[in-house]
Structure 1
Amino acid sequence: MAVQNISESVYVGMCLKIGTPQQVTYRRDIVDIMEMLRNNQMLNNETTVVLSGSHREGFRLSGSDMDHMHWPNDHRVIWDFSQCQFYNTQEHALILCDSSESPPGFTLLWLPLEITNSRVASACVRMNGMLYISSSKYREVTCSLVVPGSSPHGPCGSGSIGNVEYDNAHCFVSDFWPPSASSWIDRCHSWPPPHVVNDIVRNGCHFVAIGHKLGNHTDNEWRISFSQAEYKLVCSMNHTQFLTYGLLKLFLKEIINEGLRDEDKLLCSYHMKTTVFWAIQQNVLPRCCPQNLLTGFWVCFKLLIKWVYEGVCPNFFIPENNMFLSNIYGEAQKALFTRLYRLYENGIPLLLHSPSIRSYIINVLCNPRLTICTDEHTLISEVDVDRDIFKEVYANDALSKWDLHRCEISLHTVEQLLGLPLTQYHIVTLQKLTATILQRTAFILHSMYTYTGSNKQLYIVNKVACRLMKLSAKFGFVSDMLYIAMYYYKTFRYRDALSVIDLTKVKLAQPYLMYRSVDIERYTEAVGGQSLSTKMRQAVAKDIKLDNDIFYIDEFIIPEQVQSNNKPSLYIPPLVLLYMLEFLCSRHVDTMKAQRALDDLKVLVHHDQGQLVPVHLRDISWEILGICQQITGDLQAALFSYQQSLRQYPLNKIQTATRQRIQDLHL
């Protein structure tokens, strides 16, 4: 009974650390709907981009990379020439697999015809008179394609934006299941269910640009990737199985690899995932429920130790591919086995070494009769769920570098998607995306027609743009009203802008507002039990995101044009932007009100303790204060503010712009 209690307690801890079933569901749903919009076929994108890895699976562990896969839509990989019949070669360049000299799970990619795509052509090599795409050359060509300055890391281009590390893998896609993985289909008797198997096989596989270290053509081979199939397998797990996988990831990070140098970390989270897949399919996991979480973990741990002892980790889809072959052998294998076996001898108490799990075990050991409630609705409050949902919605609201045509198609796509059976998480995400598309459309329209010389045309465009901005306010966050105020200021409608600012100021001052923090009691009283859409419109504010490919207002032109390190957007606390806009507009209609707005902004930036001006956004906040002070002619105060901006954490990457502003002061 004590073991079951410990297991239930750890289950609770894992739900709080990794997520309840509801949290994992909406994380996946929100990414799903965003990708449906972004990869819409009507957009005729050259490349499909999908989120992959643990973030896609529903984990939100600190330190996890953001992994994306990118593949060209006009290329397809086939396994034999009979599959040519399914393609129009005018639309698709066909690439043929040649696995005859490659280890299991790897292949060469042969181009039977000369190719016109310059990126692919520049990565080609000739072997035995035939043209192959070299994986190493393709990595070089694509490494910095998405984010300039990225560094090679395995098959990916890697780096960090702010405090988030990323991996971008450029790959090729096949619509057909690999013949070498056909045995996997025959193994799926109990798990995954037939409809998942069919879905996986129907969607084929991918090829990532890295060869086998011990292969005959290491620099030119490609690894067969089952990343999309693995995502579908993870989604088909029940929540205890998913938490078992999560517990193994924490076990790896906080215990097995703790204190090791990167080059000494022989095991990775992919090995942990593989043990869970095999354990579920071989039906060796006990009945999956909270009481058996630790038993399931122990089964997987023993399987991992067995693999290390034997030096064989069979790939789940192609078992002949031993994933230990190139790095876990000899002395390294013996040392790893010894390390794991010492942990094994400690039994379940070895988890006491995990900072994430320790307290949940100790609680039960100190009070064996403790009753554990594993009901997810009691583990996390409605307010905390809402906070997490809107954080996810905000994080996936990314439409930078979308032109008018893409905006138009995307709005049409949203309309089509609304006809599908959608979850509430899909709907609230689509609503926020709609608000963003409308805002972007309005600013693009204004930029396109400002200098046409036709007053009548400009009048019509402004009228349409204003209507779009007003419509956007029906869908987004409370803070989205500031985009309307920016548009009015940009088009010299200062009194209209001030009316919007006054209304927004009232909404942002509500005691139930959810921004960085929230008054739980008042939030619940105001919008508790209402739809996510209502909550978002009435009680949620987020930082204002200004994409650097749009000129929102003239005062931001310098930071947008001089941004460094490829930062795609500026992030501004809503109240900071509100006071700035109030100051800018009031200068034209009420100078006393302008001074009050500047005073309010100064007090906010100088004295806020991280509640309304987050620490990581102080760089832009001091910058904005300096801009306003410079406009009034208070150059010494502006200099001080710009210097303060340079001393902050550089999240917005505006240091170059700030230094330029200091030079322009001519003090």
Structure 2
Amino acid sequence: MDFLSENVYIDSGFQHLCESVFVRLCQIVGTSVQVAIRRETKDIKEMVKRRVADNDDIIAMESGSIREGFRLKGSDLDFMYWTNNHRVIWDMSQSEHYYTENKTLILSDSSESPPGFTLLELLTPTTAGEVQSACIPMNDRLCISSSLYRQQAQIHVFPGSIGHGPCESGEVGGLEYDFARCFACDFWPLSASYWINRCHSWPDREDVNEIVRNGCHFVPIGHPLGLHEHEEWRISFSLAEHKLVHSMNHCQFLTYGLLKIVLKEMIDEQSEETNKLLCSYHMKTIIFWVIQQNAVPLWCPQNLLAGFWVCFKLLLKWVYEGVCPNFFIPENNLFLSKVHGSAQRKLFLALHGLYEKGLACLLQSPSIKSYITNVLYNPRLSICTIEDRMISECDHDKELFDEIDCNTSYFPKNLDHCIKFLHTIELMIGEPLTQYQVLMLQRSTANILQSTAFTLHNTYTNTGRNKQMYIADRMSCHMLKLAAKFGFISDMMYIAMFYCKTFRFREAMYITEMIKVKLAQPGRMYRTHVDPERYTEAVGGQSWSTKMRQAVACDISLNNYTCYIKELTPEQQSGFKQLGIPLFVLLHFVEFLCYRHTDTTLAQTTLEELQVLVHHDQGLYVPEHNRNISWEILGICQQMTGNLNAALHSYQQSLTQFPFYKIQNATQMRIQDLHIT
């Protein structure tokens, strides 16, 4: 038991314990392959979106733990948004890098602000209403008030959101989110220049140069002890932090994950008075400092707990001193105004109590405890730390295809925008890419071809030029069939929708029958639901491209800038950029629309099957966030058959679901159109 005491001995027993915790953390946090999949798919998604962005677009960047590669229970979904045609500069000489006819320039002045904070002065006119409304005069300057900007720029993506620091926060489907509107700066802050010289061993010079090139952001929150709390903005290093986390080796990343687990399961459970003093950002700051200062000679599975213990002792020291130095601007004390007084003393005593137990304190973690006791009671237990053996081929593929599905929805606004997307992807194919990024581009191309096909058809419909319509129709069909050749099984649904839209009902039903046959095959993977043994028998050992085409299906995402099914026009116009529909709901819907014109008996049978699915599904085929659109589609079908009371019930049920796709206005309009008194 010596290796559980305060003094960490690097003996075989300790190494055995470290290996056991390493395996457990790979199960909780993910293997290095899983983490790479999560990061690289999101990298490609953001790269494509930024390259096609127009000057006046809003740019979105995912940040936080999910973007870093974590999928821990309770991980927040964090996004930062900024207007592409606004840029912050640090001095007037930097203005020469911009064409001010299409860029609004903002000057940062940190002379009166605490370290890490600044005032923002509007230099050139802006057309952004939220910026204009947030401007206030300060000493003959027009400054942008952070508190006013927070109020003006709230997105209100989901109901029930509240202000939380610089963010708009809330919860959707059990997932907490933080959305922050901010400003981008293409230059590295002078106040963080010392950090560049501090990077001797980590990160390497190439990463440092990229971090500096990427600049920083400004989020709307002032320092609580600053002279201009309501006007100041905080310098955000989110982009730099992404790069730093991505440059960690896997043992370092798992140690960071262990710190987050210990915070949630042990430290926050100590007392109500102290459970909000520390946050995940403090844990990230600790691991950054420990890695850079070479406080741990070797980061490997056999030494994982030694690295964790160094981090824990640094946390204890910081809480005792009441100082947590920002990694980029150490003068910015992240504990200031939060960790002080009696709460600080209670937090220190709680942490010291854990410290006195040594590594045995980890027995208080429900996630880790059993793996420690397993080693203690079975000292000869064989532990395999080879990551390839920790996860099956099926589980690996589930992770990959789920991430690809989540990160390949793009929403071109018009035909020119579609062409811009396709050209961007074409250029990226020639760049050095990982195997996961190649698959991402493959699926992304299918997605853009689908949007292009429908946009092209809608552009030439009713033009009165038959030859152009015929050519457009042939091109659209060709693009949809091409997309289906290297997309998921479910991508065939776009062909069925197109045939239904162009009144080729028998062709559409032929496609839906093909889809149903493919979906009925053993080993089919749908939204991560799969029989592992049958999946391996069906496609085990084959290329991911083959697996994607033959065994994987996902739900359907409609780009709301174009029309796919005219019966859903109100819903597409009422929602935001996309409308997600469960695959099996859409399959029944398209069949119902086709059978109405060819066989009314089969139309009724299809409607009854749809009703059973929507009424009784337990989340297998109709996820919670898709239930409002599923009830809506059922109501549309019932209304079309003349069953108005059933339609009313379905629409009312749609309104009671979480409004994930914001179709409530369309639902209310449909209820009014029923004319039921």
Q: TM-score range by the shorter chain?
A: over 0.9
State the Cα distance separating 1:15 from its structure 2 match: 0.8
The change in CA–CA distance for 1:461 and 1:365 in structure 2 (over 3 A counts) is same
Structure-1 separation of matches of 2:478 and 2:455: 14
| Match 1:30 to one of 35, 38, 41 | 41
The change in CA–CA distance for 1:211 and 1:49 in structure 2 (over 3 A counts) is same
The change in CA–CA distance for 1:160 and 1:402 in structure 2 (over 3 A counts) is farther
1:384-463 equivalences in 2 (<5 Å)? 384-400=395-411, 402-463=413-474
Deviations 1:109-155 (A, max 9, x none): 23455556544333222222222222222222212276787532211
Structure-2 separation of matches of 1:618 and 1:131: 47
Structure-2 separation of matches of 1:648 and 1:168: 23
| Aligned 8 A contact 1:142 1:157 in 2 | no
Partner of 2:4: none
Partner of 1:556: 568
| Match 1:666 to one of 636, 659, 676 | 676
After TM superposition, the structure 1 stretch with the greater mean CA deviation from structure 2, 62-71 or 284-293, is 62-71
Partner of 2:531: 519
| Match 1:538 to one of 543, 550, 565 | 550
Name the aligned partner's letter for residue 108 of structure 1.
Answer: L
State the Cα distance separating 1:661 from its structure 2 match: 4.9
| Aligned 8 A contact 1:144 1:150 in 2 | no
Relative to the length of structure 2, the TM-score reads 0.91
Structure-2 separation of matches of 1:338 and 1:355: 22
State the Cα distance separating 1:408 from its structure 2 match: 1.1
Structure-1 separation of matches of 2:543 and 2:258: 33
The change in CA–CA distance for 1:169 and 1:636 in structure 2 (over 3 A counts) is closer
| Aligned 8 A contact 2:21 2:368 in 1 | yes
Partner of 1:356: 367
Give yes or no for the alignment of 1:579 onto 2:588. yes
| Match 1:478 to one of 472, 489, 493 | 489
After TM superposition, the structure 1 stretch with the greater mean CA deviation from structure 2, 252-261 or 407-416, is 252-261
| Match 1:86 to one of 97, 116, 119 | 97
The change in CA–CA distance for 1:614 and 1:187 in structure 2 (over 3 A counts) is closer
State the Cα distance separating 1:570 from its structure 2 match: 3.6
State the Cα distance separating 1:51 from its structure 2 match: 1.3
1:85-484 equivalences in 2 (<5 Å)? 85-112=96-123, 115=126, 117-144=128-155, 150-258=161-269, 265-400=276-411, 402-484=413-495
Deviations 1:546-582 (A, max 9, x none): 344443223323444555xx6x544333223222222
The change in CA–CA distance for 1:346 and 1:665 in structure 2 (over 3 A counts) is farther
After TM superposition, the structure 1 stretch with the greater mean CA deviation from structure 2, 358-367 or 376-385, is 358-367
| Aligned 8 A contact 1:286 1:295 in 2 | no
Identity of aligned residues (%): 60
State the Cα distance separating 1:660 from its structure 2 match: 5.6
Name the aligned partner's letter for residue 526 of structure 1.
Answer: A
Partner of 2:633: 624
State the Cα distance separating 1:47 from its structure 2 match: 3.4
State the Cα distance separating 1:85 from its structure 2 match: 3.7
State the Cα distance separating 1:639 from its structure 2 match: 5.5
| Aligned 8 A contact 2:55 2:102 in 1 | no
| Match 2:515 to one of 496, 499, 504 | 504
Deviations 1:26-46 (A, max 9, x none): 111101111111011574453
Stretches of structure 1 lacking an aligned partner (at least 5 in a row): none
Name the aligned partner's letter for residue 283 of structure 2.
Answer: M
After TM superposition, the structure 1 stretch with the greater mean CA deviation from structure 2, 72-81 or 102-111, is 72-81
After TM superposition, the structure 1 stretch with the greater mean CA deviation from structure 2, 523-532 or 381-390, is 523-532
What value does the CA root-mean-square deviation take over the aligned residues?
2.7
| Aligned 8 A contact 2:52 2:421 in 1 | no
Partner of 2:3: none
| Match 2:31 to one of 20, 26, 31 | 20
The change in CA–CA distance for 1:176 and 1:581 in structure 2 (over 3 A counts) is closer
| Aligned 8 A contact 1:619 1:650 in 2 | yes
The SS at the match of 1:189 is coil
Structure-2 separation of matches of 1:648 and 1:224: 39
State the Cα distance separating 1:233 from its structure 2 match: 0.9
Structure-1 separation of matches of 2:644 and 2:214: 62
After TM superposition, the structure 1 stretch with the greater mean CA deviation from structure 2, 340-349 or 408-417, is 340-349
The SS at the match of 1:258 is coil
The SS at the match of 2:485 is coil
State the Cα distance separating 1:535 from its structure 2 match: 1.1
Deviations 1:273-306 (A, max 9, x none): 1110111111112411111111111110110110
State the Cα distance separating 1:652 from its structure 2 match: 5.2
Structure-2 separation of matches of 1:519 and 1:291: 35
The change in CA–CA distance for 1:515 and 1:146 in structure 2 (over 3 A counts) is closer
Structure-2 separation of matches of 1:656 and 1:49: 26
The change in CA–CA distance for 1:398 and 1:102 in structure 2 (over 3 A counts) is same
| Aligned 8 A contact 1:11 1:290 in 2 | yes
State the Cα distance separating 1:447 from its structure 2 match: 2.9
Structure-2 separation of matches of 1:479 and 1:97: 49
Name the aligned partner's letter for residue 249 of structure 2.
Answer: N
Partner of 1:597: 606
State the Cα distance separating 1:263 from its structure 2 match: 8.6
The SS at the match of 1:328 is coil
The SS at the match of 1:473 is helix
Stretches of structure 2 lacking an aligned partner (at least 5 in a row): 1-11
The SS at the match of 1:40 is helix
Structure-1 separation of matches of 2:623 and 2:145: 46
Structure-1 separation of matches of 2:631 and 2:260: 40
Deviations 1:426-473 (A, max 9, x none): 111112221121211222233333333444433332222222222221
